[in-house]
Chain A
Amino acid sequence: MRPAGRSDTDSLYFDYPHFDPPAERDALSDPVPVAIVGAGPVGMTAALALAHEGVRSVLLDAKDTFNDGSRAICISRSSYQILERLGVLAPFLEKSLPWTTGRSFYRGQQILEFEMPDGLSEKFRPMYNIEQQYIEQFLWQAIDREPLIDARWQSRVTGVEDTDDGVMLTVEDLLDRYHMKADWLLAADGARSTIRGLRGLRLKGENHEGRYVIADVQMNHDYPTIRRALFDPDCRRGGTVLVHRQPDNIWRIDYQLRDGEDASDAIREEAVRASVASVLDEIGHSGDWDLEWWSVYSANTLALDDYRDGRIFFIGDSAHIVPIFGVRGLNNGLADASNIAWKLAWVMQGRANAALLDSYTPERRGATLDVFANASKSARFMAPPTAGWQLMRDAALNLALSHPFAGTLANPRQMSPYTYADSPVIAPDDPAFSHGPVPGAPLPGTRVGDGFLSDCLGDGFSLITFDGALERHLDDLDLTIVSLPPASDAAARLAATSSSAYLVCPDAHIAARWAEATPKAVRDAFTLAIAGDTT
């Protein structure tokens, strides 16, 4: 929502584009390899990831512009790694604000300062703040110059039927209603997914206590890019307030409504202005400010039982709703897009067995359940659901005023990379390792020469070796060999000797590793990683 007199797209700092329905109408009903419903950040990333693999797609969206409001503003390191692999990261790095630090306050006193994991071995910072409009704009700029993506705005999908070898979509725009056959469909159409509804599928899970208003203000406010959490502040006794800095002098004020506070009343412009003013007073801002945009949300943990329904894959919010303060909604959506895109491409191109697609749900739904576990902890701390949780939360905060150890209970733990533990295409770990990253984990950051290990990986699978002999026996495999010196930062980080090796998936998760690699072991793991022989 925006202040009276301003339309949904009348922003203080962002010019929303206007997109017409497709002008070229001749080929609208031509069959397509992949249709993607929803041109938000997740759908756009999926289209770019498919194009990166050489796969053509049609991207459909009912809207005529980007999503309104800043929405998802915290983009994690893992998402920047995805965007970098797609070759679209440069404008993000230029615009966004990196951060590593969070501070928590109780009744106006700082009780915790935490640092997210970072260091010289990491190419990217743990988190970057950027408004979602820019995310969509930067992705759109890449799509606009990508011939493999046919983007159709103002194009609403109103029907989806199974066929023998795909789905038949019904699409409506201002000019026409047409059918289009797609071999595969990616549903990236958000929390209120039309496709999910058309398939009769429902999200399952729970709704947590607490409703929150997020409001963006523009102001000159001198504070570094540090996440501030205010527990039980004077401006909102009994509630929690979060403050984030964004580009363009935009500040996100996120505050919890009191029990019994009526949400429809709380989101009236005067109420939002009054609440924001009291928060700004609390954080010591006495200058001018402009109200830009606001919205309301509650903390839900909801997911589909299966992210796949025949030829349809659900990616992003259509598959899972997570509480906002875990900053995993969009980040996990981008990981969904990256995960399904390479798998779909490899299966369509005959480079992997069709069974590979069944690893999408266990890997990505597993990541969602992991978020649920962490976010439920955060939710219980931010908005204690019962008297017991409330008492212990208050005790921890109160004790933290004098004993800092208790403040660590207020750490939101937003940056824990997810390990694909239950994936059918990830090999069991080699018991000869006592440390280093396990199969299923994302490849960790480490320096290689003047750059980083991630810079050395190929577009598909990569085999990291520390011994030139191994690769001579693997010429026929569809992978990139990355040869590193046995005495190196990378070898130390990977607990590798000269005879060790790591097999890495196209999405930079580890598929298998060996302390003493043999050509046969690599061959077997590669076959497992593409879900069986393709010959």
Chain B
Amino acid sequence: MTAADLETVYEALAKQLDAIAQDKRDLFLAKLVLLLSHDLDDASQVLSRIRESAANIDV
């Protein structure tokens, strides 16, 4: 993924999050993770990404 592609995803996600009611954003993100996990088709990679994403949450 190029830096430009990443930026495109970043912006689309920000806009979509704003378009969704605040109390539904968790649901939206959880759906997205399930869907992307299915596309990725690699449970162990998803599991390590889950651990990595949980790091520094309270910084």
Report A's interface with B, CB cutoff 8 A.
391-392, 394-396, 398-399, 403, 405-406
Contacts and interface: CB of A to CB of B under 8 A. Distances in A.
13 contacts: A391-B30, A392-B30, A394-B27, A394-B30, A395-B27, A395-B31, A396-B34, A398-B27, A399-B31, A399-B34, A403-B38, A406-B35, A406-B38
Interface of B: 26-27, 30-31, 33-35, 38
A266 B30 CA distance: 33
Nearest to A399: B31
A502 B30 CA distance: 48
Classify the interface of chain A: helix, strand, loop or mixed: helix
A403 B33 CA distance: 13
Contacts of B31: 395, 398-399
What 8 A-B pairs have minimum CB-CB distances, sorted nearest first?
Answer: A395-B30, A399-B31, A395-B31, A391-B30, A391-B26, A399-B34, A405-B38, A395-B27
Contacts of A392: 30, 34
B19 to A, nearest CB: 16
Most buried by A among B26, B27, B31, B38: B31
A55 to B, nearest CB: 51
A403 B31 CA distance: 10
A392 B28 CA distance: 10
Given A394-B27, A395-B31, 15 more contacts: A391-B27, A391-B30, A392-B30, A392-B34, A394-B30, A395-B27, A395-B30, A395-B34, A398-B31, A399-B31, A399-B35, A403-B35, A403-B38, A405-B38, A406-B35
Contacts of B38: 403, 405-406
Contacts of A403: 35, 38
Contacts of A399: 31, 34-35
A406 B34 contact: yes
Contacts of B30: 391-392, 394-395
A386 to B, nearest CB: 13
Classify the interface of chain B: helix, strand, loop or mixed: helix
Contacts of A391: 26-27, 30
Nearest to A396: B34
Nearest to B29: A395
Contacts of B33: 395
A475 to B, nearest CB: 53
A232 to B, nearest CB: 12
A237 to B, nearest CB: 15
A284 B29 CA distance: 34
A392 B31 CA distance: 8
Contacts of A405: 38
A486 B34 CA distance: 47
A488 to B, nearest CB: 39
A401 to B, nearest CB: 10
Nearest to B26: A391
Contacts of B35: 399, 403, 406
Nearest to A392: B30
A403 B35 CA distance: 8
B21 to A, nearest CB: 14
Most buried by B among A391, A395, A405: A395
A430 to B, nearest CB: 32
A124 to B, nearest CB: 35
Nearest to A409: B34
A72 B32 CA distance: 39
A403 B38 CA distance: 10
A470 to B, nearest CB: 45
A403 B32 CA distance: 11
Contacts of A395: 27, 30-31, 33-34
B46 to A, nearest CB: 13
Nearest to B33: A395
A153 to B, nearest CB: 55
A400 to B, nearest CB: 10
A405 B31 CA distance: 12
A405 B40 CA distance: 14
A399 B38 CA distance: 12
